[in-house]
Amino acid sequence: MRDTDDIRFGMVGHGGISGQFLGAMDVVEDAHVAAVAGRNADRAHAFAESRGIASSYGSVGEMLSAERLDAVYICTPHPYHEEAAIACVDAGVAVLVEKPIAPNLAGATRIVEAARDAGVFAMEAMWTRFLPIYEVVRRWIDEGLIGDVRLVTAAFGFSVPVMPEHRLFNPELAGGSLLDVGVYPLTIAHWLYGSHPVEYGALARVGETNVDEIVSIAASYPGGGLAQLGCATVANLESSAMIAGTAGSIEIPVFWAADRAILRAGGEEEIETMPHRANGFEYEIEEVVDCVRRGRTESDRMPLSLSLEMAGLCDEIRSRLGVVYPFEEGSD
């Protein structure tokens, strides 16, 4: 690839989140979506036509055989990430895999091993970690403006009717609030403390489809920092994060998509806003473009080790809650 060539992306999946990816791609220089694959050629074709994408395919394999792609964005329901991701890396094509990278640690490990064996770039699409406002928040903390950090509270929850077949509730599709949105508060606590919890308690309401519909986690981190984290598909949770320290606090409204943070310290309030150029997905896409251009196999900012740790933590939380997916039964 020459430096001046556009990075050619493919997409696998064209559902709810795909529009956000395409919207962000519009503001990313030197990259475009050249092809989309689904599991049904007609539906993929209709999507491609409606979004001005040049080519469409009824399977990942057909897309990889026919196209010269540099990277593929995988946005199918969680259990289908693995097959597509491994097909891409085996074909030498970089992958950006929607969160959670896989429904469990076993699947995440297979993706990571395949990418490492092939020497091909792979990254989980945890876009929150790339939002520019977090650089401001980090600076405020590093400058000691809120003193020693003692507690972070963060929750991500919305309320939709229980639809047993929908991927949010269907255990065959690795439903549940933890994997869909719980990974965001867990990620923000990890970003803050640089570690997963050393100790935690988790409580949940497990609904009629045997997946977690609302989860509450209290956790402690190395050094003694605490977290109160929550996620839900059946309750509208306040989605601000609050980082509380000995000398002040930082509020991050809509923390998972944040473009604003509020510092409160010494009786003063400072508001910093870093508007997204599109919708916030552009920063993770730019990370992929940069890594692919530089021949990197991993992102320093969202390394595969972090995806593995997160998958392991979510496995452990689900096991405490008694949430086991049908495709996991009988496995160790």
Ligand X SMILES: NC(=O)c1ccc[n+]([C@@H]2O[C@H](COP(=O)([O-])OP(=O)(O)OC[C@H]3O[C@@H](n4cnc5c(N)ncnc54)[C@H](OP(=O)(O)O)[C@@H]3O)[C@@H](O)[C@H]2O)c1
Q: Which residues bind ligand X (CB under 6 A)?
A: 12-17, 38-40, 43, 75-78, 80, 98-99, 125, 127, 167, 180
User: In this complex, which beta carbon is closest to ligand X, that of residue 84 or of residue 141?
Assistant: 84
The least CB distance from residue 326 to ligand X, in Å, is 16
How are beta strands 122-124 and 94-97 bridged, if at all?
Answer: parallel
What is the rounded CA–CA span in Å between residue 73 and residue 313?
A: 24
Cβ closest to ligand X, residue 141 vs residue 323: 323
Which residue number, 98 or 282, has a Cβ lying nearer to ligand X? 98
Least distance in Å: CB of 162 to ligand X?
16
Q: How many CB atoms lie within 10 A of CB 319?
A: 13
Task: For the chain, report the end-to-end CA distance as a whole number of angstroms.
Answer: 43
Least distance from ligand X to the Cβ atom of residue 281, Å: 7
Is 304 in contact with 102 (CB distance < 8 Å)? no
Radius of gyration of the chain, Cα coordinates, nearest whole angstrom: 20
Closer CB to ligand X, residue 39 or residue 139?
Answer: 39
User: Least CB distance from residue 146 to ligand X, whole Å?
Assistant: 28
Shorter beta-carbon distance to ligand X: residue 79 or 245: 79
- Give least dist CB 13 to ligand X, A: 3
- What is the smallest separation between the CB atom of 20 and ligand X, expressed in angstroms? 7
> Token pair of 163, please?
């639809």
Distances in Å between the Cα of 113 and the Cα atoms of 71, 82, 278, 298, 308 are 18, 11, 33, 12, 11
- Contact between 149 and 141 under an 8 Å Cβ cutoff? The reply is yes
In the complex with ligand X, which residue's Cβ is closer, 38 or 207? 38
Residue that has been written with the tokens 């045997």 in this structure: 210
| Distance (Å, whole) CA 248 – CA 261 | 13
Q: For residues 146 and 154, which CB has a smaller minimum distance to ligand X in the complex?
A: 154
Q: Measured at CB, which residue is nearest to ligand X?
A: 15
**Residue 61 Cβ vs ligand X, minimum distance, rounded to whole Å:** 11
Q: How many CA atoms lie less than 13 Å away from 116 in the CB half-sphere?
A: 9
Which residue's CB is nearer to ligand X, number 153 or number 170? 170
Crossing angle of helices 304-321 and 105-118, rounded to 10°: 170
Kindly tell me which of 80 and 130 has the beta carbon lying closer to ligand X.
Answer: 80
Q: What minimum distance in Å lies between the beta carbon of 105 and ligand X?
A: 16
Give the largest CA-CA distance in the chain.
62
> How much of the chain is helix, strand and coil, in % rounded to 5?
35, 25, 35
The distance of closest approach from Cβ of residue 268 to ligand X in the complex, given in angstroms and rounded to an integer, is 33
Nearest to 229 by CA among 315, 155, 321: 155
